[in-house]
Amino acid sequence: MSLSDSDHDLVVEELGREPTRAEAALFENLWSEHCAYRSSWPLLSAFDSEGDQVVVGPGDDAGVVSIPSDGEETYITMGIESHNHPSYVDPFDGAATGVGGIVRDTLSMGAYPIALADSLYFGDFDREHSRYLFEGVVEGISHYGNCIGVPTVTGSTAFHDDYEGNPLVNVACVGLIDDPDRLVTAEAQEPGNKLLLVGNSTGRDGLGGASFASEDLAEDAETEDRPAVQVGDPYTEKLLIEANEALIDENLIESARDLGAAGLGGASSEMVAKGGLGANIELTNVHEREPNMNAMEYLLAESQERMCYEVRPENVERVKEIADRYDLGASVIGEVTDGNYVCTFEGETVVDAPAEFLGDGAPYNDLPAEEPTEQPRDLPEGVDLAEAFEAVVGSPNTASKEWVYRQYDHEVQVRTATPPGDDAAVMAVREAGTGLAFSSGADPNWTTAAPYEGARAVALENATNVAAKGATPHAAVDCLNGGNPEKPDVYGGFKGIVDGLAEMCSTLDVPVLGGNVSLYNDSVAGPIPPTPTLALVGVKDGYDAPPHSLSGEGDLLLVGARSLEGDAEARLGGSEYLAQFGGTDRFPESLDYPDAFVDTLVDVANDDATLATHDVSHGGLAVTLAEMISEEAGASVDLDAPSKGSSAALLFGEQAGRVVIETTDASAVREAFDGVAPVYDLGSADGSGTLGVALADGDLSYDAAEVAGLRDVIDRELD
């Protein structure tokens, strides 16, 4: 990738001369889609980032919100990023450095990282290459996260043919700021302050990573683009985490930015641009690990585990002392000015441009968008219900993801009250006496079938996940992944997921604090599905939450199922059932009052009579019930009810905004949801360890061991 002719002309017009080689390379990276959001920024105004709890909204390294506290005011940070292209080229290092990057985004706000979420998307599980990428990515995430002592507590894993040539690795991080005075932003404060580079030494790894992430993956990307992939060192990152804490403790940092996309040039120019300032930087002052590096390499290398700090002159030596204590490099690379962004190298000025123009001067793209068409009803015929149950429950998409999360240390820091495998993880923020429920994910089947409605369902599902644990949705960040936006059908689908996600988050009154956009996820295999990963947190008093497993002692209710009302049509659009057996259908209709449904679910989940709660989504009711039984507890379910839908649609339809509740007070649940969402009596839980389902056209019966055997497919195939 190189600076386009039109961009080159804009740069020449602004500078009044030809750009130097270093300037051209810096503009190429900072004006790339990855950094400048040129195709997506016009759409992002759809998101509502306002709210009384919002402290720092979009535009910084991470968003910041206040959370309820029984003591001093407490903040959390939320950030998310993608490392898609690097993870295709080098799955281990690509995924590992994605974790490192989002953790440093957390550090740059003055926060301590307390939880990670990974949302992963690969090609068909049956393909050897998909499994190679899957295993490498999970190993990279587990290695980095475990080494730095930050628990990976939630996430999602999906398999879909259209990720074969371009997997997605989206990683979110939550950080804790237990004193508002510790908050730091990326806005440079004052001319005369020094700029320090602290952390790992700079090498040549990751050169051009931002521009690499802004173009389609070529057939030979796994070999040709390897130099653009960063190499991580989690042990240095752990030292950087603790050093950052020490620096914040002593109030030594005026502003901060982690070195990610576009390296030193990106971090330092963005900091001063946010403050309406400039900088003088001497590149030869950078501490490096490779000899004979040139100006562009110093500027654009994306070597990991590095932070850029603005520091008052009188505090420079103390910062160096702390860095040295943690065996980290620290170099004074320049100072903040009120002029241009200027970089010199060996006595020569190699960059001299307005910082604001570097960061915000790229023009946005006005691209044509083709409206997605609604899928017609063309359902498969003659599918046996037992065959369907076994195929859907045993699909890698809906099967147990224990193989993934057992590789992560989710107990480090001793905060995880509800561990991975449930609808949402619940973290104990003891400093505030608050439980923090955390959910993250998307469903490519949904957004392939219907980008707008599928994205609305993604937002509602994540909100339902935290509400089912008794937490009120509080804030979110998103990672919006799409293919080549220059293709009208691809851009139309991308626009659909943006609008759908924004609309449902606004309906649910969940501010979106920021996020990440990753486009050009396209390869010789074609574009990826439009994929709107949402990472959402909810808050609650205390840390206790109802489990998703049955106790065997209560009645079973299904809340939110429009298809069981008798006047609504059960639909299979976007379902795993259709992914297994072929065909198409319209996407399920959503609830009329999703906000009231979520609010009511929070109250019901926290009621003493509630014994278990489980979101109904991927794989439909069949998968939800299969996940709820155990050797100690089973269920007898009756779905022989009047409906416009078939038994297959009732079992396998994937309307979001539904939950199965086990309760000892069914009448109270019906009363709570009266006028909010339909409630259907499913049957009862028992101690049989067997799931029995009565349907109009046949019965199903599976014991816990049979269900576990179906759901064990990933573990069975990989170990």
pLDDT over 60 at 312, yes or no? yes
pLDDT over 90 at 112, yes or no? yes
Q: Binding site for ATP, residues?
A: 37, 478, 515
Q: Binding site, residues?
A: 37, 81-85, 104-105, 230, 258, 302-304, 478, 515-516, 518
pLDDT over 60 at 568, yes or no? no
Task: Give the mean model confidence (pLDDT) for residues 492-517.
Answer: 98
Cβ atoms 160, 448 nearer than 8 A:
yes
**CATH code for the domain of 574:** 3.90.650.10
Q: Binding site for substrate, residues?
A: 82-85, 104, 230, 302-304, 518
Residue with tokens 């960040």: 477
Find how far residue 4's CA is from the centre of its chain: 31
Cβ atoms 255, 310 nearer than 8 A:
yes
Domain assignment of residue 661, yes or no: yes
Band (pLDDT 50/70/90 cuts) for residue 697 is confident
3-state helix, strand, coil in the chain (%, to 5): 35, 25, 40
Looking at residue 641, what is its pLDDT?
56
pLDDT over 60 at 393, yes or no? yes
Does 563 or 347 have the greater pLDDT score? 347
pLDDT digits over 283-305, tens only? 999 999 989 999 999 999 999 99
Band (pLDDT 50/70/90 cuts) for residue 567 is very low
Looking at residue 137, what is its pLDDT?
97
Domain assignment of residue 537, yes or no: no
Of 314, 349, 384, the residue that ends a domain is 349
CA gap 601, 593 in Å, rounded = 12
CA gap 708, 626 in Å, rounded = 9
pLDDT over 50 at 225, yes or no? no
pLDDT over 80 at 230, yes or no? no
CA gap 371, 500 in Å, rounded = 13
Exposed, middle or buried, 705 (CB in 10 Å: 0-12/13-18/19+)?
Answer: exposed
Choose the catalytic residue: 83, 474, 614, 618.
83
Domain assignment of residue 581, yes or no: yes
Of 349, 377, 393, the residue that ends a domain is 349
Find how far residue 191's CA is from the centre of its chain: 36
Task: Kindly report the average pLDDT of the chain as a whole number.
Answer: 94
Band (pLDDT 50/70/90 cuts) for residue 675 is very high
pLDDT over 80 at 346, yes or no? yes
Task: Give the mean model confidence (pLDDT) for residues 360-378.
Answer: 94
pLDDT digits over 659-670, tens only? 999 999 999 999
H or E stretch covering 278: strand 278-282
Neighbour count for residue 116 (Cβ, 10 Å)? 28
pLDDT over 60 at 224, yes or no? no
DSSP state of 172: E
Phi, psi of 45 (to 5 degrees): -65, -10
Domain assignment of residue 26, yes or no: no
Residue 406's SS3 state is: coil
Of 349, 375, 407, the residue that ends a domain is 349
pLDDT digits over 607-649, tens only? 999 999 999 999 999 999 999 999 999 999 998 754 545 889 9
Domain assignment of residue 307, yes or no: yes
Choose the catalytic residue: 34, 410, 548, 618.
34
DSSP state of 364: P
CA gap 16, 353 in Å, rounded = 10
Residue whose C-alpha is closest to residue 144's, from 102, 105, 106, 174: 102
Beta bridge partners of 538: 437, 473
Looking at residue 644, what is its pLDDT?
46
Task: Report how many domains make up the chain.
Answer: 2
Per the annotation, the verdict on 34 as an active-site residue is yes
Beta bridge partners of 428: 435
Domain assignment of residue 13, yes or no: no
Which tokens hold the place of 299?
A: 């500027």
* Lowest-confidence pick of 50-54, 179-183, 360-364, 568-572: 568-572
Looking at residue 226, what is its pLDDT?
47
Radius of gyration of the chain from its Cα atoms, rounded to whole angstroms? 26
Domain assignment of residue 427, yes or no: no
Task: Give the mean model confidence (pLDDT) for residues 592-603.
Answer: 97
Q: 142-160 burial string, b = 16+ CB within 10 Å, else e? A: bbbbbbbebbbbbbbbbbb
Per the annotation, the verdict on 474 as an active-site residue is no
pTM of the predicted protein model: 0.95
Neighbour count for residue 179 (Cβ, 10 Å)? 14
Range of the domain at 649: 546-718
Domain assignment of residue 477, yes or no: no
Give the rounded percent of residues in the chain with a pLDDT score beyond 90. Answer: 90
Neighbour count for residue 286 (Cβ, 10 Å)? 23
pLDDT digits over 394-448, tens only? 999 999 999 999 999 999 999 999 999 999 999 999 999 999 999 999 999 999 9
pLDDT over 80 at 227, yes or no? no
